[in-house]
């Protein structure tokens, strides 16, 4: 274990940095020691792990396999260490979570703050990914758990909690639309619009509305970034199309208003808290999961101003 552990550290650093010299500087070891470990491994495997190029080192196909296996091994070792610390009662560990851009404000940061106030020994790595990538990251064990939209067709995932999220119009607080409790999609015809683009999950719902209604949209701008859409709305460029989750902070602060779209063809998006079906979670992950689960139901059909819809 120690010898392989040393090789793996060296190999992963070289694979990531593309240079033995840079890896040596980062790990504070000699370049010759790293080179020797890699040459020994290549001799044992009978094939090269790196292509030696004038500009540096590049992983071969065999190197890519070792790199992927090394990532899984490091994750597994981290889980083993966390479980051993659980036995010692240290309440320590590291948790990796995958979330969408919409979750980077308010709910998740507040939950992490609550966890670390009670369990300061638990550290958290939060990875922001497109919705489709989150599902794969959970199933493969790249992350401990994640929050994503509509995962029900994926057998590799177990849904621990879910909430239904609505699509709506997003406007400045002083916009005439802000006075409405709800509206049909046709209400925006003739008005300047800011439209979400793929890979944002909400973009698929907008495509459904446009396709079924056959109504023309006056697109002034589009973006695959929720913060950019929010900023354009605040600047008065047009009316945005987002979920209540995307703009909860801005609505609570009085900057924006959210008006749910009521067209019957539009189904709520299912926001799900998921783990991998085939993999047990660590003590640290369970602590964070429990904290998120306790308040997850509050997101269900929740008006950003705090009233249930």
For the chain, domains (ranges, CATH) are 2-69 (1.10.10.10), 91-160+270-299 (3.40.190.10), 167-267 (3.40.190.10)
> pLDDT tier at 278 (50, 70, 90 boundaries)?
confident
Task: In whole angstroms, give the CA distance from residue 167 to residue 149.
Answer: 13
Query: Mapping DSSP to helix (H, G, I), strand (E, B) and coil, where does residue 55 land?
Result: coil
For residue 187, give the nearest of 136, 239, 224 by alpha carbon.
239
- What does DSSP assign to residue 181? S
Of the two residues 1 and 261, the one the predictor is more confident about is 261
Q: What is the pLDDT of residue 168?
A: 93
Which of the pair, 114 or 303, is modelled with greater confidence? 114
Average confidence (pLDDT) over 35-62:
90
With cut-offs at 50, 70 and 90, classify the pLDDT of residue 57: very high
pLDDT at position 309, please?
39
Q: What is the pTM of this model?
A: 0.61
Which DSSP letter does residue 308 get?
B
Strands (E), the chain: 50-53, 56-59, 93-99, 122-128, 145-149, 157-165, 167-172, 192-196, 218-223, 239-243, 256-260, 269-276
pLDDT in tens, 209-251: 888 888 888 899 999 999 999 999 999 999 999 998 888 888 8
């Amino acid at each position: 274990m120690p010898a392989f552990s040393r090789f793996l550290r060296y190999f992963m650093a070289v694979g990531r940095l593309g240079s033995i010299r840079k890896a040596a500087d980062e790990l504070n070891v000699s370049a010759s020691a790293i080179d020797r470990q890699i040459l020994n491994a290549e001799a044992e495997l009978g094939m090269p792990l790196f292509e030696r190029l004038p500009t540096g080192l590049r992983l071969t196909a065999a190197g890519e396999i070792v790199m992927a296996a090394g990532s899984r091994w490091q994750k597994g070792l981290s889980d083993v260490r966390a479980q051993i610390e659980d036995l010692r009662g240290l309440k320590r560990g590291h948790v990796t979570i995958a979330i969408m851009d919409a979750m980077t404000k308010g709910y998740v940061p507040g939950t992490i703050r609550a966890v670390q106030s009670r369990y300061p020994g638990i550290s958290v790595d939060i990875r922001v990914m497109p919705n489709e990538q989150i599902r794969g990251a959970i199933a493969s064990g790249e992350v401990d758990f994640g929050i994503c939209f509509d995962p029900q067709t994926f057998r590799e995932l177990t849904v621990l909690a879910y909430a239904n999220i609505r699509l709506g119009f997003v406007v400045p607080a002083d916009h005439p639309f802000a006075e409405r409790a709800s509206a049909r999609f046709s209400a925006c015809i003739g008005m300047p619009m800011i439209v979400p683009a793929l890979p944002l999950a909400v973009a698929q719902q907008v495509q459904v509305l446009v396709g079924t209604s056959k109504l023309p949209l006056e697109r002034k701008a589009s973006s695959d970034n929720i913060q950019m859409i929010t900023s354009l709305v605040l600047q008065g460029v047009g009316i945005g199309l987002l979920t209540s989750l995307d703009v909860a902070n801005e609505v609570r602060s009085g900057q924006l208003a959210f008006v749910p779209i009521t067209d019957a063809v539009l189904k709520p998006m299912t926001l799900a808290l998921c783990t991998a079906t085939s993999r047990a979670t660590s003590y640290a992950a369970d602590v964070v999961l429990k904290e998120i689960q306790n308040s997850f139901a509050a997101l269900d059909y929740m008006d950003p101003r705090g009233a249930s819809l």
